Amino acid sequence: MESHETKYSNSVEEDYDINQDQAAVTRRIQRLSLHLNPISEPPVSSDRLQLLTCAGRAKINVSDEQLAKYLRGKHRDIQERVYEYFNAKPDLQTPLEISKDEHRELCMRQLVGLVREAGIRPFKYVVEDPVKYFAVVEAVGSVDMSLGIKLGVQYSLWGGSVLNLGTKKHKDKYFEGIDNMDYPGCFAMTELHHGSNVQGLQTIATFDPLRDEFIIDTPNDGAIKWWIGNAAVHGKFATVFAKLMLPTHDTKGVSDMGVHAFIVPIRDMKTHEVLPGIEIHDCGHKVGLNGVDNGALKFRSVRIPRDNLLNRFGDVSRDGKYTSSLPSINKRFAATLGELVGGRVGLAYSSVGVLKIAVTIAVRYSLLRQQFGPPKQPEISILDYQSQQHKLMPMLASTYAFHFATSYLVEKYAEMKKSRDEELVSDVHTLSAGLKAYVTSYTAKSLSTCREACGGHGYAAVNRFGSLRNDHDIFQTFEGDNTVLLQQVAVYLLKQYKEKFQGGTLTVTWNYLRESMNTYLSQPNPVTSRWEGEDHLRNPNFQLDAFRYRTSRLLQSVAFRLRKHSKTLGGFGAWNRCLNHLLTLAESHIESVILAKFIEAVRSCPDVSSRAALKLVCDLYALDRIWNDIGTYRNVDYVAPNKAKVI
C-alpha cells in the first residue's frame, strides 16, 4: 500500500485524481483472487473445439468441501433432489428457443412433474419448514426462472393468501388441491392503474345480503387486474383484492371497509372454460419469464359465496355486519399485506442464487480467456487486468455477503412464522423489503456487467447471461417496486429514530443505531481516523463502525431536513424533496446489516481455512463499500487523508 498514491493530498504532481488509489485496491483484489482455485481442466468442452488450458494460478489452501458444507446449509439435500429429477428428464428441460405458448405448457409440466413425480411438496414446506421451501424455490429457479416464479405464484402467493389471510374453513377446503396442483390459482392484486399503491385499488366486492353473496366488479378499465400470473392459461381460482362494500341504511347506500381478499373461481373445474362474468386477456410477451402465463382479469357482477371472503382479519356476518379483531382500515390493511412478506423473502434469496450463477460463469471465463500480454510473452488471462478485477472481484465478495444476509433473513422469517412475535414481524418486514430491493438491484446491474465482461462469448445465449438478465429483471419491480420498498425501510428507520431513541428498546437489526448515535454523532475520533495499518483496516470493528456511522449520520440529517421542509411543503412534499436522501439512508442501513451478518458468518465458520478465505472476501466487501463512499467519510474527517490512501 503506497503512501504516494492518494486522492487527498495537495500535491498536483503526485496525488491528484479519482483513480490513483486503484493500485491499492488492485493489490487487495489480487490477494483475494488467490482465493479462486486454479482451473486445472477447461470447464467448457465442445464436440468441435478444444480450448486451451488457462494459465495456472497460485492456490490458497482452502478445503472446498468444508467451505461448501458451511455455505450450503441443511437443505442442500432437497436441492439435489430437484436437480436429479430434472437432470433425468431431458424432456422437461427448457430449450434455448421455445415459443411463449410452448414455454407456458412446459413450465406447467415441470411444476406438476416436480410435485407429482418427484414428490417435492412445496406447500407442505411452506407450512412446516419455510427454509426448506425457499431452498426449493432457489433450486427450481436455476432450472428455469419461469418455473421458480410459477411455483411461487402457486404456493407463496395463491396458496399463501389462502393460508395466511383465510381461516380454517379455507384451509380445509383448498389445501389439498393447491398442494397437489389440482387447484392452480392466481394472486389478483395489481391493477392496470395501481401497482405500488395497493390502497388505491378500485375493484369492488359488494355484499348482497339477500343472496348471502359478494358481487365482484371491475368499475373501470384502470381497475382491470393486470400481470396476474397463472391467469392467462392455467388458473382455476384467483385471490382477488377488492374494496369490501357493505350496504348501509344511510343516504350513501354502501360503506367502504377497505381492501380485502376474496377467493374467486375463474375457470370451470371440469371444462376449464372461463366462468360467466369474467373476461380474461393474455398479457402477452414479456421481456422474460415467458413460461409464466400472465393475464388480465375483468369482473362483471361475478357472484361468490360469503364464505369466499378470506376472513382472518375481518369478517362479514350473514346479516351484513362487519367484525374484525383490528380497530381500523389501516391496521387491517397492514396486517393483510404483512402476511405476504414471504414472497419478498423468496425473491431476495433467489436473486442471490442468480448472482451466484452469473459471477461464477464470469470469473471462470475471465480466468480462461487470454488476450494481449507483455511484448513477446504469452497472452495473459483477462482476469489479470485491473479493469476486469475491478468489475468482478467486488461482485464476488458481494455474492458471499448477500448469501449470508439472505440466509439470515430466511431463518428469521421461519422463526417469525412460529413465534408471531410482534417486534420480529416488524423487523422481518422491513429487512425483507430492504434486502429484496438492495439485492435485486445489485444483481440486475451485475448481470449486465458480467455479460459485458465476457465479451462476445458472453453474448452467446447458451452462456445464460441473456436469459438470466431478462428473467431476473422484473425482480426489481414485482412484490414491491424497489424504490417504494426502500422508502418503507426509511420510514421504519425514522420511526425508530423518533420513538425509540430516548431509552426505548430497538429490535435486533436496528439496535446498533442507538449506540452509533451516542458514540459518533459528536465528532469523529481524531486518533482512529488516522489509523491506517492493515490490522486496523481489516478489523471488523472498524469496518462495521464505518458503515453504522454513515447510517446514523444519514438518519439524523434526513430527520432534520424532513422537519424543516415539512413546514413549507407539507409532509408529502418534504418527503419527495428528500427522496434520494431517504433512499441512500435505506441502502446504507441495509449495507450495515449485510456486513454485520457477514462478519458473524466469518466468526462462526468452524473450519480454519474456510474462515480465512471468507475473511478475505468479507474485508473486500467492507473496504470496497467504504471506498465507494470515500468522499462522504473524508468530508467529515471520519477517514483522514493518509488513511484514505491505503483503503
Enumerate the known binding-site residues.
Answer: 190, 229
Measured from the CB of residue 47, what is the shortest distance to its own copies in angstroms? 10
Stretch of residues binding its own copies (CB under 8 A), selected from 17-25, 66-74, 211-219, 417-425:
17-25
76 binds its own copies (CB under 8 A): no
Of 534, 560, 600, 603, the one binding its own copies by CB under 8 A: 560
Residue 456 vs 606, nearer CB to its own copies: 456
Considering the rule CB under 8 A, would residue 77 count as an interface residue with its own copies? no
- How far apart, in whole angstroms, are the C-alpha atoms of residue 543 and residue 623? 7
Pick out residues in 300-339 that bind its own copies (CB under 8 A).
Answer: none
Of the pair 370, 539, the CB lying nearest its own copies is at: 370
Question: Packing angle between helix 465-472 and helix 342-368, nearest 10 degrees?
Answer: 160
Q: Which of residues 627-646 bind its own copies (CB under 8 A)?
A: 629-632, 634-636
Instruction: Please give the Cα distance from 149 to 36 (Å, whole number).
Output: 32
CB 238 within 8 A of CB 276: no
Q: Cα–chain-centroid distance for residue 607?
A: 29
* CA 254 to each of CA 270, 469, 544: distance values in angstroms, whole numbers, following the listed order: 36, 47, 55
Backbone angles phi, psi at 629, to 5 degrees: -115, 25
Site size for its own copies, by CB under 8 A?
A: 108
Q: How far is CA 122 from the centre of its chain?
A: 20
Q: Is 600 a catalytic residue?
A: no
CB of 561 to its own copies, least distance (A): 7
Of 331 and 581, nearer to its own copies (C-beta) is 581
Q: Does 580 bind its own copies (CB under 8 A)?
A: yes
Residue identified by cell 434526513 is 558
- Which residue among 148, 185, 288, 295 contacts its own copies (CB under 8 A)? 288
371 in contact with its own copies (CB under 8 A): yes
Stretch of residues binding its own copies (CB under 8 A), selected from 21-29, 114-122, 126-134, 359-367: 21-29
CB-wise, 272 or 563, nearer to its own copies? Answer: 563
Angstrom distance (rounded) from CA 47 to CA 259? 59
Interface of this chain with its own copies, residues 126 to 185, rule: CB under 8 A: none
Phi, psi of 181 (to 5 degrees): 70, 10
Is 201 within 8 Å of 208 (Cβ atoms)?
no
88 binds its own copies (CB under 8 A): no
* By the rule CB under 8 A, 26 interacts with its own copies: yes
Question: What letter represents residue 230's amino acid?
Answer: N
Q: Mask: binding to its own copies, 494-533, rule CB under 8 A, as x and -?
A: ---------------------------x------------
Binding residues for FAD: 190, 229
DSSP H or E run through 225: strand 225-228
**Listed residue (558, 628, 621, 631) closest to 593, CA to CA:** 621
Q: Scanning residues 439 to 458, which ones bind its own copies (CB under 8 A)?
A: 444-445, 448, 451-452, 455-456, 458
- β-pairing verdict for 185-188 and 237-247: parallel
User: Given candidates 159, 195, 235, 434, which one binds its own copies under the rule CB under 8 A?
Assistant: 195
Q: Are 438 and 488 in contact (CB under 8 A)?
A: no
172: helix, coil or strand? Answer: helix
Identified binder of its own copies from the candidate list 109, 390, 500, 615, rule CB under 8 A: 390
| Catalytic annotation, residues | 479
